[in-house]
Chain A
Amino acid sequence: MNSYDVVVVGAGPAGMACATEASRAGLSTLVLDEQPRPGGQIYRDIEVSDPGRRALLGKDYGEGARIAEAFRASKAEYRSGAVVWNIDSEKRIDYSAGGRSHSVQAKSLVVATGAIERPTPMPGWTLPGVTTVGAVQILLKTSGIVFEDLVLVGSGPLLWLAATQMIAAGAPPKAIVETVPRSRYREAARHFAKALRGWRYLAKGFAMMRAVKKAGVPVHSDAADIAIEGEIAVTAVTFTSGGTRQRIETAHVALHQGVVPNQQITRLMNCKHRFDDSQRAFLPVVDESFETSIPGVYVAGDGAGIGGAKSAEMRGRLVAMRIAEKVGNRAGEAAKLRTELAKDAAVRPLLEALYAPAADVLAPADATMVCRCEEITAGQIREAVALGAPGPNQVKSFLRAGMGPCQGRMCGLAVSEIIAAAKGETPSTVDYYRIRPPLKPLLLSELAGLGAEEPREAAE
């Protein structure tokens, strides 16, 4: 079995930067990533997007090209299309690629699997034609696909970014239905002074809102009680805004309630997690070098708490420097990077307060489907709690919630929130699903070749 000083899982900004820095410090480094090309979701297809598409996706997207180039030029090995499905306590990693399973040994493991979108259970959210906002961005980045009737529903910076990108692409959204309650602006205001240190982000935010206004996109604020209508696909979205019930006809709805750390690998490895009230999500417990409760296992980027792409790149580099320092290799200068990282984070408390998830999504109505795979409703989960299920794992065995192919990725946080509310506790005491291998369903044929070695592949 091949062995590496560092194995990085994920080739987004954190993974690429970490691998570049680690190989620069003389560490043998392997990057495993599911996608066909590096970039992660934020810089998806950055290497193949033409100048036209880059221009409409914005300057920040273009930043990814620099990171990807440095990564390609580095000595790090890179394996695309590699789906990690198990990692044991000795940091032996099993992944499938090219239709077969392979194993590698890591001395240090860097989890750079980033963020996923928060589950957004609401009536009709399983209808074809409903996607996440991340999905419509991916369609634009990878394929230049836009929709003339797209309705963006939810809250968060990504909602506005997607809207401005659609406008630049010549296909403004049909409407934005924003779920931020008016009272939030007052609550968020107390973070404003601190956020001024991150004025670039604030300026970008205001510019996006101006662009939406200028393009004449209708914005329905303070929206609640959202329901998506349709029999076999979406036909309309309805909601209450400004005291009246409204209805917009569309075949394409994109939902967003912020992003949260992708916990699958850190949960699988039994790293300690905590519930962060401000981010309203579970975060792995890490030290100042982003090492988890399990020695030699690090989390770089959004997986350790949402900070955005710039922060992810810096955190990736810091992790590599720490690993190099531990084995006595010459590492880069971390102090300056830490100062920059702190400055970059100044805007987060404001964003977290303003764009906290909508109450409807955290506490869906009884009839709303929460687990999409097994079709379990919020009411069924509450009933299971009333019958004595103390936490997510018992709800899982009572109802099969979280047992489908997505392994709870699409319902886990919502299930923890619903159980906590039903018991009058917090998600932190209720905790989260236990995650078991395989992390992703495998074809039997992929298991057949397990243990076989393969030639090494260089990053170029």
Chain B
Amino acid sequence: MPQRIDGSGETVRFTFEGREVAARAGETLAAALIAAGETTTRDSVVSGAPRGPFCMMGVCYECLVEIDGVPNRQACMIVAEPGMTVNRQTADEVVA
């Protein structure tokens, strides 16, 4: 399991697939999800195989999630905000 090495900062809570996830204020959704042990963020649009954040710097697009109903958002580029509703992106949500 991933661990946090330093003291607790301010916590921001959002939901991922209906479960509550705690993020540190200012960190990205992808970092918070990985810290919570959630490594799968989307399904491949071709085979439906599971994928998860790969580069954490906005180039691979493996971290695409649906945020508050809007698909194709990069979880590694978006800072977690309180109350966000985040869901895995399924294969039928076509990438623009």
A-B contact count (CB 8 A): 134
CB nearest neighbor in B for A129: B39
B95–A171 CB distance below 8 A: no
Which residues of B are found within 8 Å of A116, using beta-carbon distances?
55, 57, 59
Main SS class of interface, A: loop
A441–B5 CB distance below 8 A: no
Which residues of B are found within 8 Å of A140, using beta-carbon distances?
5
Please give the number of chain A residues whose Cβ is less than 8 angstroms from any Cβ of chain B in the complex.
Answer: 52
Say how far B10's CB is from chain A's closest CB, in angstroms: 12
Which residues of A are found within 8 Å of B95, using beta-carbon distances?
373, 404-405, 441
Q: Does A409 contact B (CB under 8 A)?
A: yes
CB neighbors of B among A153-195 (8 A): 169-171
CB nearest neighbor in A for B42: A128
Say how far A85's CB is from chain B's closest CB, in angstroms: 12
Q: Does A142 contact B (CB under 8 A)?
A: yes
Say how far B71's CB is from chain A's closest CB, in angstroms: 9
A406–B60 CB distance below 8 A: yes
CB neighbors of A among B19-55 (8 A): 24, 26-28, 31-32, 34-35, 39-41, 44-47, 49-55
On B, residues with C-beta under 8 Å from A are: 1-6, 24, 26-28, 31-32, 34-35, 39-41, 44-47, 49-62, 64, 70, 72, 77, 79, 95-96
A138–B57 CB distance below 8 A: yes
Given A117-B55, A171-B5, A443 contacting B34 (CB threshold 8 A)? no
Query: A53-B6, A131-B55 provided; 10 other pairs, C-beta below 8 A?
Result: A56-B5, A128-B40, A129-B52, A134-B56, A146-B5, A233-B39, A233-B50, A233-B52, A374-B46, A375-B49
A41–B57 CB distance below 8 A: yes
A373–B61 CB distance below 8 A: yes
Q: List 13 A-B contacts (CB under 8 A).
A: A126-B51, A128-B40, A128-B41, A135-B53, A139-B34, A142-B27, A144-B5, A145-B5, A146-B3, A171-B3, A233-B40, A233-B52, A405-B61
Which residues of B are found within 8 Å of A325, using beta-carbon distances?
none
B5–A130 CB distance below 8 A: no
Most chain B CB within 10 A, of A34, A135, A252, A443, is at: A135
Q: Does A410 contact B (CB under 8 A)?
A: yes
